[in-house]
Amino acid sequence: MLRKIVLILSGNAAASLMLLARNLLVARLIPVEDYAIAATFAVAMAFVEMASQLGLQQMIVQARDGNDPKFQAALQGFQVLRGIISGVALFVFAQAFATFLRIPDVAWTYQVMALVPVLNALQHFDIHRLNREMRFLPMVLTTAVPAFISLVLVWPLAIWMNDYRVMLYALIAQAVVATVTSHLTAERRYALSLDRVIIGQALSFGWPLLINGLLLFAVFQGDKIIVGRELGLAPLAIFAMGVTLTLTPTLVLSKSGQNLFLPNLSRLAKTRVDQPQPFFQMSHAMVQFAVVNGALVVVAILLFGPWLVSSVLGDKYAALIPLLILFAVQQGVRVWKTGPNVVALACGNTVNAMLSNLVRVLSLPLAWWVVVNGAGDAGLVTLLFIGIAAEILGFLVSAIQVKWRYGFSYRRSAAAIGVSGLVMITAAMTVLSNDPAVARAAYWVSPALFAGLCAVVPDLRRLVFDKVG
């Protein structure tokens, strides 16, 4: 299992680090306002992708007949249909979206980006099907190779254009290469079909994920939309970069956790009534994996985040440094939710994630009011505190649902959750304390607590050494 963990983490990390490097390079090479426009491309893509997300990739891993070629062809056909609808929607609403953000002159860029969801939908599902057999290399290559190509293209594009179009064409190139790579690494012949029965199954499985996709859009992009619309492009660039630097590693860890745990948890969930112990051990390992990763993100940002901003991005992003650890805490708590959410997904429950994200979405009206009535950095700090509180409540909702539905006790993971929370509290004290001595002490206490966290995750340690499941 250790070799598979290293493959997944290194592959996802390499791809995300290259995409992060791409974003940092774009931010360094083009003006701040242009980077803000480039950041809205992610908002537009997230909307069309998440508004049509039905979890077909997870379904082919979780479903009993996920290895059936006919089942795969039907999912691929449905995915292409979904991608075409998403692309058309983005093209049609491009002008309205640009006008809402008060940048109507760039509406054409969103229309060009309508190609991206169509290209993504043409990917071969073998990269997901092979996860059932714990074979992750095709998926890793399909993620890493496009990220590398997208990064390499930034410099020549910047020399040629030197504005927000750099990101536009880098994203299109990434989508093209990802689709080609998925087909080159596939084992089966690519086939498409539209089967009403399987589409019905997919809709039944995916409707909570569809709603969750809309909620995730609000979670990931809602704050950016609020800041961009109410405060302008320069504050949006600062805020978007803070999200990029902290969200990127959390997405790596969340995706890796789902890739690693979902196949085994799905297998054990089918026998959990007769043999509950292996399922619960693996579930504890998943929960512990999530809280360790949340704390890891916070410690990494605490130690290296300010240096990264000042050395790579320069003075034009200096205002981000005092806010960075709060961004990290918000995203770190969000990672906690992947633990109970993946456990629920393994049992075929796609509602759990939806309800946990609903809490975060319900906080957005308050966040909007704060930004409109706040003053500069104080408004952004309050906005981040609202996000942190909402993520904590979302985790509690997710965890309680899993306890009630499946009789899962958190006793074996309680220490890990508590220590992970202490890591985040002490890290936040480095910027919140008015006493320099307290801030300096917190700077060293937080990493020390993280070292202690690794000692209170027994099920995760067993999993690493192939003793669970």
Q: Which long-range contacts (CB under 8 A, 24 or more apart) does 136-140 make?
A: 136/4, 136/7, 136/8, 136/11, 136/259, 137/7, 137/11, 137/185, 138/182, 138/185, 138/186, 139/11, 139/259, 140/7, 140/8, 140/11, 140/12, 140/15
- Confidence band of 469 (pLDDT split at 50, 70, 90): very low
State the Rg of the chain over Cα: 22
Contact (Cβ atoms closer than 8 angstroms) between residue 107 and residue 99: yes
Q: Cα–Cα distance between 307 and 327 in angstroms, integer?
A: 16
Q: Chain-wide mean pLDDT for the chain?
A: 84
pLDDT of residue 103: 84
Report whether pLDDT(40) > 60: yes
For residues 193-208, give the mean pLDDT: 79
pLDDT of residue 347: 85
Contact (Cβ atoms closer than 8 angstroms) between residue 416 and residue 453: yes
Q: Across the chain, which distance is largest between two alpha carbons, in Å?
A: 65
- Confidence band of 1 (pLDDT split at 50, 70, 90): low
Report whether pLDDT(426) > 90: yes
Report whether pLDDT(135) > 70: yes
pLDDT of residue 439: 93
Task: Kindly provide the residue ranges of all beta strands, DSSP E only, lying in 170-292, ordered along the sequence.
Answer: none
Nearest to 124 by CA among 193, 184, 74, 183: 183
Number of Cβ atoms within 10 Å of the Cβ of 404: 9
| Contacts of residue 312, Cβ cutoff 8 Å, sequence gap at least 6 | 24, 28
| Out of 6-15, 64-73, 150-159, least confident range | 6-15
Percent of the chain with pLDDT over 70: 90
Contact (Cβ atoms closer than 8 angstroms) between residue 27 and residue 313: yes
Task: Kindly provide the residue ranges of all beta strands, DSSP E only, lying in 68-161, ordered along the sequence.
Answer: none
Report whether pLDDT(6) > 70: no
Report whether pLDDT(228) > 80: no
Highest mean pLDDT pick, 38-47, 111-120, 318-327, 415-424 = 415-424
Output DSSP code: residue 411: G
Q: Cα–Cα distance between 412 and 157 in angstroms, integer?
A: 52
Percent of the chain with pLDDT over 90: 31
| Contacts of residue 41, Cβ cutoff 8 Å, sequence gap at least 6 | 109, 110, 113, 164, 167, 168, 171
pLDDT of residue 337: 92
Report whether pLDDT(448) > 90: yes
Q: What burial class does residue 217 get, using C-beta atoms within 10 Å of its C-beta: 0-12 exposed, 13-18 middle, 19+ buried?
A: buried
Q: What burial class does residue 148 get, using C-beta atoms within 10 Å of its C-beta: 0-12 exposed, 13-18 middle, 19+ buried?
A: middle
Residue 196 Cα distances to 70, 77, 429, angstroms: 12, 11, 55
Q: What burial class does residue 351 get, using C-beta atoms within 10 Å of its C-beta: 0-12 exposed, 13-18 middle, 19+ buried?
A: middle
| Out of 6-10, 376-380, 454-458, least confident range | 6-10
Q: Which two tokens stand for residue 347?
A: 């049992």
Nearest to 218 by CA among 365, 13, 14: 365
pLDDT of residue 467: 47
For residues 202-211, give the mean pLDDT: 71
Annotate 286-346 with DSSP letters as a single string.
Answer: HHHHHHHHHHHHHHHHHHHHHHHIIIII-GGGGGGGGGHHHHHHHHHHHHHTHHHHHHHHH
Q: Cα–Cα distance between 334 and 391 in angstroms, integer?
A: 6
Contact (Cβ atoms closer than 8 angstroms) between residue 44 and residue 98: no
The residue with tokens 């996802």 is 12
- Confidence band of 231 (pLDDT split at 50, 70, 90): confident
Contact (Cβ atoms closer than 8 angstroms) between residue 16 and residue 10: no
Higher-confidence position of 54 and 35:
35
